């Protein structure tokens, strides 16, 4: 993907989060990897979304959506008002329950076959980088590491999250004009992947092995993809 196209896609994602109701409250939007490094073209556009876990929305409507759409959990794991407004973006997991990460991907990346990867987690980017690193080192399995070289482009307002009404059209928030300008111009100064992993506590040889594993995993990916995580 051309770098200019990648940045346009990120701007579209942030604008959608700002302007439209999301399946769950969104707190942060980050980019990481190739696009943050200033590469042109890039192999994949990696976007990270921090979301809130929805505990109480409209559970009394769950049965209604199960009958009409064949999906469980609407009003419990995703907003009922969102599903009513955007029924075409409603997605379920293998068990038939509404899957927040798949719903967000359908909404934020509609009708695309471009190489875009969406990471969705309830934890902030920095916290998830740390948790995934600890897990990878414990298992000696590095393919699921999260590239720590990221930039935060948008942060939700104080009213977002559990304290905000599920009927709100969007989650408010503010984009970072400075971060977007640096992203457009490729001005972020970031280390190599192995160097970044060493800064997080890996030994040099292990960091090099982990970086190779991440690159190999990325080379196998094709088209759009999404990964949901709970920390």
Q: Is the Cβ–Cβ distance between 209 and 138 less than 8 Å?
A: no
CA distance 195 to 102: 32
- Least Cα distance to 78 among 68, 61, 95 occurs for 61
Q: Which run of H or E residues covers position 226?
A: strand 225-229
**pLDDT value at 227 more than 70:** yes
Q: In a 3-state reduction of DSSP, which class is residue 80?
A: helix
Report how far residue 188's alpha carbon sits from residue 184's, in angstroms, rounded to the nearest whole number: 10
Q: Is the pLDDT of residue 141 over 80?
A: yes
pLDDT of res. 168:
44
Q: What is the rounded average pLDDT of the residues 173-177? A: 92
Reading the block at residue 66, the tokens are: 């199960």
Backbone angles phi, psi at 156, to 5 degrees: -65, 155
Number of domains in the chain: 1
- What's the pLDDT band for 163 if we cut at 50, 70, 90? very low
What DSSP string describes 99-126? -HHHHHHHHHSTT--SSEEEEEESS-HH
Q: What is the pTM of this model?
A: 0.91
Type and span of the H or E element at 198: helix 193-199
Nearest to 54 by CA among 134, 168, 163: 163
- Tens digits of per-residue pLDDT, 193-210? 999 999 999 999 999 999
Instruction: Identify the sign of the CA torsion 72, 82, 14, 109.
Output: positive
Contact (CB, 8 A) for 75 and 59? yes
Q: Mean pLDDT throughout 154-169? A: 50
User: So what's the pLDDT on residue 169?
Assistant: 43
Contact 76, 65 (CB under 8 A): no
Range of the domain at 144: 3-229
The phi and psi torsions of 118 (rounded to 5 degrees) equal -115, 120
Q: What band does 171 get if pLDDT is binned at 50, 70 and 90?
A: low
Of the candidates 80, 33, 25, 75, the one whose C-alpha atom is nearest the C-alpha of residue 50 is 25
Closest CA to 161 of 117, 108, 109, 124: 124
Report which DSSP code applies to 60.
Answer: G
**pLDDT tens for each residue of 62-83:** 899 999 999 999 999 999 999 9
Enter the tokens of residue 112.
């695309």
DSSP state of 163: T
CA count, 13 A, side-chain hemisphere, 18: 13
């Amino acid at each position: 993907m051309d770098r200019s196209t990648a940045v346009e896609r990120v701007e579209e994602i942030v604008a959608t989060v700002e302007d439209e109701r999301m399946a769950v409250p969104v707190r942060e939007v980050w980019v990481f990897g190739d696009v943050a490094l200033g590469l042109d073209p890039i192999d994949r556009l990696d976007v990270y979304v921090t979301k809130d876990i929805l505990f109480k929305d409209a559970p009394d409507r769950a049965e209604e959506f199960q009958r009409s759409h064949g999906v469980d959990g609407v009003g419990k794991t995703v907003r009922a008002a969102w599903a009513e407004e955007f029924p075409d973006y409603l997605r379920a997991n293998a068990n038939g329950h509404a899957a927040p990460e798949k719903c967000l991907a359908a909404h934020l990346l509609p009708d695309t076959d471009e190489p875009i990867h969406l990471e969705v987690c309830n934890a902030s980017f920095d916290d998830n980088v740390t948790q995934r690193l600890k897990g990878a080192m414990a298992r000696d399995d590095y393919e699921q590491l999260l590239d720590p070289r990221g930039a935060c482009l948008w942060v939700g307002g104080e009213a977002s999250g559990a304290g905000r009404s599920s009927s709100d059209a969007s989650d408010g928030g503010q984009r970072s004009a400075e971060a977007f300008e640096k992203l457009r111009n490729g001005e972020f100064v970031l280390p190599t992947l192995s160097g970044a992993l060493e800064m997080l506590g890996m030994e040099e040889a292990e960091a090099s092995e982990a970086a190779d594993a991440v690159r190999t995993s990325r080379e196998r990916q094709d088209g759009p993809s999404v990964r949901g995580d709970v920390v």
